């Protein structure tokens, strides 16, 4: 093999390695973002269910103006690969979701937190990994 062919081979190997590295990183980031988005959507669904529960009177298995007593719906509790935690307080609702894709630290799964403060229908998300 001539010197020129060898140099071309080295150059193409470097280019291919760089492209592979970039592709893997981009797909990793994309997967994490997609999983976080999915968790956020699911948390909004749970929030809607929790708000329904809060608005219902106690005679209709509701909270009569309080989140206290709200439990995670069965469909979410048994979802494979994903885990949710709901912390209902009297007027605030805290939720935590852990996804199925490895997060930014490269060890633990992606995590999202959700807080619905009292007296407002606005909620806040924060990425925890």
Task: Please identify, using beta-carbon distances, which residue of 31 and 104 lies nearer to another protein.
Answer: 104
Bridge partners (DSSP) listed for residue 97 = 84, 112
Q: How far is the CB of 6 from another protein (least distance, A)?
A: 9
Token pair, residue 118, equals 């009292």
Q: What are phi and psi for residue 66, nearest 5 degrees?
A: -140, 150
Q: In Å, what is the CA distance from 15 to each residue of 3, 7, 10, 21? A: 18, 12, 9, 10
Task: Please identify, using beta-carbon distances, which residue of 49 and 128 lies nearer to another protein.
Answer: 128
Sign of CA dihedral 62, 116, 100, 36: positive
Instruction: Please give the Cα distance from 56 to 119 (Å, whole number).
Output: 17
Q: How far is the CB of 26 from another protein (least distance, A)?
A: 11
Chain contacts with another protein (rule: CB under 8 A) = 3-4, 7-8, 10-11, 14-15, 17-18, 21-22, 25, 68, 83, 85, 87, 89-92, 94, 96, 98, 103-108, 111-113, 115, 117-119, 125-129
Task: Please identify, using beta-carbon distances, which residue of 46 and 112 lies nearer to another protein.
Answer: 112
Task: Please identify, using beta-carbon distances, which residue of 51 and 129 lies nearer to another protein.
Answer: 129
């Amino acid at each position: 093999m001539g010197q020129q062919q060898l140099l071309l081979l080295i150059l193409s190997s470097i280019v291919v390695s760089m492209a592979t590295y970039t592709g893997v990183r981009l797909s990793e980031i994309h997967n994490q973002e997609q999983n976080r988005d999915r968790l956020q959507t699911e948390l909004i669904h749970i929030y809607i269910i929790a708000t329904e529960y809060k608005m219902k009177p106690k005679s209709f298995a509701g909270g009569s103006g309080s989140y206290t007593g709200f439990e995670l719906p069965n469909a979410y509790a048994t979802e494979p690969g994903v885990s949710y935690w709901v912390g209902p307080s009297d007027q605030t609702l805290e939720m935590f979701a852990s996804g199925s894709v490895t997060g930014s630290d490269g060890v633990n799964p992606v995590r999202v937190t959700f807080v619905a403060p009292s007296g407002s229908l606005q909620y806040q998300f924060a990425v925890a990994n």
